[in-house]
Structures are given as structure tokens and as C-alpha cells.
Structure 1
Amino acid sequence: MPLSQDMTSDLEPGLLDALQHQVALFARRAEQTRLGGVGQVRNSMDRAAYLLLNRLDLEGPMGVKALAAGMGIDSSTVTRQVAPLVDTGLVKRTSHPEDGRAVVLQLSPRGQARLGEVRSSRRELMAQVTDGWTEEERESFCTLLTRFNSALSVRASGHQESDTPAS
């Protein structure tokens, strides 16, 4: 259940202010650097393409509707974002194995290789940014960031109850 204005009064406003400020800084810095990695691969793949390719790699071939639903975005947005990936040969459209009329999207071998390059570059960036952190600190940060992103995703998808307190 989301916090109403009244419910936040029990929480430390200074800490909430600091948290929202750090999230805003993170968003700006992430966009500035695009967290694209290091070396020649740096900033060579936009966020939308990376997320689409990554999902197709992790979950396998799927249709536009399933891809959109899994990413929490509109099918028309996925269609628009996938078009250049198909044009550049990173994604291929194939017939659904059970229903030849339906189309599924899947990573091409070129897409698989390109995603591997980008992941490697981004992994190196994460290693550099967290240099000096212990493994436990990295794990804790990843756990908390995952939890934070999940909460934002739930909120954005409308599965939250009203922002006003119950009567």
C-alpha cells in the first residue's frame, strides 16, 4: 500500500528527502553516461535496445504482446523499438512454431554476439564504479536496487491501491 502524506509523517523527512535527491542524481548521471560501458562499446546501444535484447535472450522467442507485457510497456512502443533491431539484423522475425500465422521475435546470432559485447562492457563499468566495494556491499546494493525497481514497476503498472488513506 502506498504511503499517503499522513503516513510519511512517521518517517524521517530528511532521509526521504536525501533518498529522493540521490535517486534524481542517479537518474541524471545514468542518462548522462547511459551506463553504456567502457571502451569502444561505450554508449553504443541505447537503453531500450539493451532491455529488449536482454529480455529476448533470457526468456527466448516471443511475440510483441508478450514482450510488451513483460516489460510493462505498450505493444506499439515495442513494435517501434524492435523495428531498427530487425533492420540491423540483431532481431529476427520468425513464424510461431505452433501457429504459423503468428510472428515471434528472437535474437539473431548477430544480436547474441552484440549483446555479449555490450554486457561485457557494462560489466566492466560496474566493476570500475564499485571498485573498492566488498562483494557483500555489491550484493546488498544489487538486492536493494532490485527491490526498489520492483516497487517502482508495481506502482507504474497500476497494481497499487489508491494514494489516499482508507476511510
Structure 2
Amino acid sequence: MSPSQPPSLPASPEVIDIERALNRITYLSTRARQHDRLMALAGVPLDRAAVALLRQIADSEPLRPGELANRLGVEASHVTRQVQHLEKTGYVRRVPDPDDRRAQRIELTPQGQEAIDRIRAAGVRGMQAALAAWSPDELRQLATLFHRMVDDFLAAAVDDEAFQESLESVRPSSS
């Protein structure tokens, strides 16, 4: 175990099973063929990175490119290139940052909002087809548990970041 890693607890069989299921669903949902199919159904010719950026912009207030990069966990230069492409294709625009007029934030255009609405509608249609045999009660339970899991994952990520920062503050410098 490295000094920067917290001690691990033995995993229960249920947690191991959940981790495996999440890996399977992540794999299935991020395959290039699945993305291409979703984009064809939505009628939106964008790659996965552009769609991830559009979704993030749609789910938040206008943000600076650096904030978008942090939320997506990618390099700022990657977001800058994607924003330039999405700007050229009319999906986003830059607007002045009300807190700092020298800075800019990125927001969806009406065309960008229409594209994200079509992408989400196509995704929902696919999910409805896959979950057609589930009862409304089962769907409510799944939604509740998924939201709880995401909230717990986010809290754990914040705790992990705080832990890593505390290690950095007590680690001797190498200079």
C-alpha cells in the first residue's frame, strides 16, 4: 500500500457485484457503436467528448472553460478545442463573465439546447425500451438508489480530494 492511499476495507460480495455491474453498464453505454447509434437517432453529428461537454453546459449555469474542464476531469486545452468546435457549429457561444468582464463563460445557444434535448430524448427512448418490463415501483426504487449512489460517490470524491490535500500539506518537499 502506498503512503498516499487510505487503508482499504474488505469488500462485501454485494459491493463487488455492484462494481462489476457498473463496469458493464459503463462499457455498454460508452461504446463507440452505441454513441454513433444514439447520435443517428438524435440527428446530431457530434463525438462523445462534444456531447459530454454539451451535457455539462446544459446541466449548469454558464461556466468558464477551466470550470468545465474541472467538472469533466479533463485538461483545459481539451475543453478549449471542443468549445471552439461547438462554437463554429453553432451549439455554444461565449458570454462575458458577470464577475470578471475580462473572462468569458460558455452557454448553449438555442441550437445547442435543441441538440441536447434530442440527444436526451433518444437516450430516454432507448432506456424505456430496455426497462419496459420493470414496474413503476421498481423504476422509482432504481432512480432513488442511483441518485443516492451518485451523491455518495461525489461525497467520497470530495473526501478523497481533501485527504490527498492533507497529505500534500504534511509531506516534506523534495527540493
Aligned to 2:24: 25
- Are the structure 2 counterparts of residues 70 and 21 from structure 1 closer, same or farther at C-alpha, using a change threshold of 3 Å? closer
TM-score normalised over the length of structure 1: 0.72
Aligned-partner SS, 2:62: coil
1:8-157 residue pairs with structure 2 within 5 A?
8=10, 12=12, 14-32=13-31, 33-34=34-35, 37=38, 40-41=41-42, 44-97=45-98, 99-156=100-157
Aligned to 2:169: none
Following superposition, the deviation at residue 64 of structure 1 comes to 1.3
Unaligned runs of 5+ in 2: 165-175
In the alignment of these two chains, the number of paired residues is 157
Q: Which moved more, 1:45-54 or 1:117-126?
A: 45-54
Partners of 1:38 and 1:124 within 8 A in 2: no
Distance between the aligned counterparts of 1:73 and 1:102, measured in 2? 20
AA in 2 matched with 1:159 = E
Identity %: 24
Following superposition, the deviation at residue 111 of structure 1 comes to 0.7
Distance between the aligned counterparts of 1:95 and 1:143, measured in 2? 38
AA in 2 matched with 1:102 = A
Aligned-partner SS, 2:95: strand
Deviations 1:62-118 (A, max 9, x none): 211232334444433322332321121111122334543221111112111111111
Unaligned runs of 5+ in 1: 163-167
Following superposition, the deviation at residue 60 of structure 1 comes to 2.6
- Are the structure 2 counterparts of residues 21 and 54 from structure 1 closer, same or farther at C-alpha, using a change threshold of 3 Å? closer
Distance between the aligned counterparts of 1:99 and 1:160, measured in 2? 28
TM-score normalised over the length of structure 2: 0.70
- Are the structure 2 counterparts of residues 31 and 37 from structure 1 closer, same or farther at C-alpha, using a change threshold of 3 Å? same
Q: CA RMSD in A?
A: 3.1
Distance between the aligned counterparts of 2:65 and 2:141, measured in 1? 34
Distance between the aligned counterparts of 1:35 and 1:128, measured in 2? 18
Partners of 1:35 and 1:43 within 8 A in 2: no
